[in-house]
Amino acid sequence: MKPIWHFVGLILVVMGGVILTAGLWSLWVKPLGPPKVLSSLHPELWWGGFMILAGAAFLVFNRRSRVE
């Protein structure tokens, strides 16, 4: 069996990909209404990328461990 950290890594990679994709989409399609505070920093891109890197780290560091 895989440890719980393997599945945490998978969830982080998938959710980070969704957030990063939403951030990339917002670069081309401007949302309706007034802009949000500090939206020019594009936090979706930063958080999506960070979550993907963190998830990849969980997957790499736990690839050989097994739970019995």
Does residue 68 lie within any of the structural domains? no
Does residue 67 lie within any of the structural domains? no
Provide the domain count of the chain: 1
CB atoms within 10 A of CB 51: 20
CB atoms within 10 A of CB 48: 21
In this prediction the pTM is 0.85
In which domain, by residue range, is 44 found?
A: 4-29+38-61
Distances in Å between the alpha carbon of 36 and those of 22, 31, 33? 15, 10, 9
Does residue 16 lie within any of the structural domains? yes
Q: Alpha-carbon distance 53 to 30, whole Å?
A: 27
* pLDDT tens readout for residues 20-36: 999 999 899 987 888 88
* pLDDT tens readout for residues 9-66: 999 999 999 999 999 998 999 878 888 888 889 999 999 999 999 999 999 998 877 7
Does residue 66 lie within any of the structural domains? no
